[in-house]
Amino acid sequence: MAGRSVVVGVGHYLPERVVQNAEFENTLETTDEWIRTRSGIERRHFAAEDETTSDLATNAAKAALADAGLTADDIDAIVLATSTADLTFPSAATMVQARLGMTRGFAFDVQAVCAGFVFALSNANALILSGQAKRVLVIGAETFSRIMDWTDRSTCVLFGDGAGALVLEEQQGQGTSDDRGILATDLNSDGRYKDLLYVDGGVSTQSTGHLRMQGNQVFRHAVEKLAKTAEIALERAGLNSDDVDWIVPHQANIRIIQGTAKKMGLPMDNVIVTVQDHGNTSAASIPLALSVGKQRGQIKQGDLIVTEAIGGGLAWGAVALRW
Ligand code: UT7
């Protein structure tokens, strides 16, 4: 017997406002065609002016709890991945905790930018396996529209807002790769690459700042690092890419998604793709894709999933799990 962190609920929330690529043609030297062919993005959602990351996160959390048939009283911890928290502190996670009416347990944010959800999942799994929590809400939520430079066509057309959430529950498995739940994780970062993707402001520099990215440089790292981290997570679970039912990748660029699948020797039929509808929602993209993938009837109980993500830091990683 072995403890496993099993997904018992999933949900997501997207802000109402949808912005099509063509809208950017009014204010920038860009075209729907460029955005579509270079990134795969067709539209994205933007939060309303008075809508914050914790609002999106709370809605996603409620959807995941409803899917699990649980209430906030059943949850021991909230781990929320975000780089765009409402306030410098307290954490967005504690705001969600209050909004859910959860008066016990603990909540905290994880910041690993676009790889945030993979880091949050890995941390939540460790909390469960070490006996510190039995059920954990793991959320990815972002309002990247707040850190866009709307005059920079190389970044502002790529990102969107949204939130997704999972409920993880401790269950007993056999200790084999046939078990449901998280089977293995792999986390990495290399701070030497800070200048490839960062926000040029923050509390200690006394400004909010805007996202800056050398997109083609990040691209160069992405495919190789993502395929490698996915392979390592699978190997640690005693599996390889032939066993994978679904790659659920961070949704930044369709060409990165295709390149990674190809490097892993898998066809696009085995990949959940939502980038066309959501753009890059950073830490929210994987739980959004998991929720949409389940809603579409693609992801089913027992499926072997590998999630992988890379972003600012650089930080990257993967999680192998059986749904
Ligand atoms: O989620 C976190 C991790 N982030 C990522 O994974 C993003 C990774 N990078 C990418 O997705 C791609 O690099 C981009 C979509 C950002 C850019 O695609 P690219 O094929 O790497 O293009 P590029 O940056 O090399 O730029 C090609 C050209 C440039 O013009 P010149 O220098 O060749 O004349 C850009 O100025 O495209 C130009 N360009 C645009 N043109 C029209 C850049 N942005 C735009 C735009 N519309 N919005």
Give the per-residue pLDDT at 84. 98
Which residue's CA lies nearest to atom 9 of ligand 1?
215
Kindly give the distance from the C-alpha atom of residue 117 to the centroid of ligand 1, in angstroms, as a whole number.
Answer: 24
User: Would you report the helix, strand and coil content of the chain in percent, each value rounded to 5?
Assistant: 40, 30, 30
215 lines ligand 1 (CB under 6 A): yes
Residue nearest to atom 2 of ligand 1 (CA): 311
Helix axes 53-68 and 92-99, enclosed angle (nearest 10): 50
Residue nearest to atom 35 of ligand 1 (CA): 154
Read out DSSP for 187-223?
Answer: EEE-GGGGGGEEES-BGGGTB---EEE-HHHHHHHHH
160 lines ligand 1 (CB under 6 A): no
* Beta-sheet pairing, 161-173 with 2-13: antiparallel
Give the rounded distance of the alpha carbon of 30 from its chain centre.
27
**Beta bridge partners of residue 81, listed in sequence order:** 110, 140
Give the span between the Cα atoms of 206 and 116, in whole angstroms: 24
Structure tokens, 84: 């765009």
**SS3 state of residue 167:** strand
- DSSP type of residue 55: H
Q: Is 120 helix (H, G, I), strand (E, B) or coil?
A: helix
Q: What amino acid positions are annotated as catalytic residues?
A: 114, 250, 280
Per-residue pLDDT of the chain (323 residues; tens, 9 = 90+): 789 999 999 999 999 999 999 999 999 999 999 999 999 999 999 999 999 999 999 999 999 999 999 999 999 999 999 999 999 999 999 999 999 999 999 999 999 999 999 999 999 999 999 999 999 999 999 999 999 999 999 999 999 999 999 999 999 999 999 999 999 999 999 999 999 999 999 999 989 899 999 999 999 999 999 999 999 999 999 999 999 999 999 999 999 999 999 999 999 999 999 999 999 999 999 999 999 999 999 999 999 999 999 999 999 999 999 99
Q: Is 222 in the pocket of ligand 1 (CB under 6 A)?
A: yes
Q: Residue 140's CB: how many other CB atoms inside 10 A?
A: 35
Find the 16 Cα to ligand 1 centroid distance in Å. Answer: 27
- Single-letter code of the amino acid located at 188: N
The reply to whether ligand 1 has any atom less than 6 angstroms from the CB of 260 is no
For 164-193, the DSSP string reads EEEEEEEEEE-SSTTSSEEEEEEEEE-GGG
Contacts of range 23-32, beta carbons closer than 8 Å, 24 or more positions apart = 24/153, 24/156, 24/157, 27/150, 28/151, 28/153, 28/156, 28/157, 29/153, 30/153, 30/157
**What is the pLDDT, as a whole number, of residue 240?**
95
- 3-class DSSP state of 237: coil
CB atoms within 10 A of CB 245: 16
C-alpha 24 – ligand 1 centre gap (Å):
15
Beta-bridged to residue 20, according to DSSP, are 43
Ligand 1 centre to CA of 43 (Å) is 17
The answer to whether the CB of 314 is under 6 A from ligand 1 is: no
Residue owning the nearest CA to atom 47 of ligand 1: 30
In angstroms, the CA 10 to CA 137 distance is 10
**Amino acid at site 166:** L
Nearest CA to ligand 1 atom 10: 215
Instruction: Please report the domains of the chain, with CATH numbers, ordered by start residue.
Output: 2-173 (3.40.47.10), 181-322 (3.40.47.10)
- So what's the pLDDT on residue 1? 79
Cα of 154 from ligand 1 centre, angstroms: 6
| pLDDT at residue number 2 | 87
Q: Is residue 252 lining ligand 1, measured as CB closer than 6 Å?
A: yes
Please state the pTM of the whole predicted model: 0.97
Q: Are 306 and 248 in contact (CB under 8 A)?
A: yes
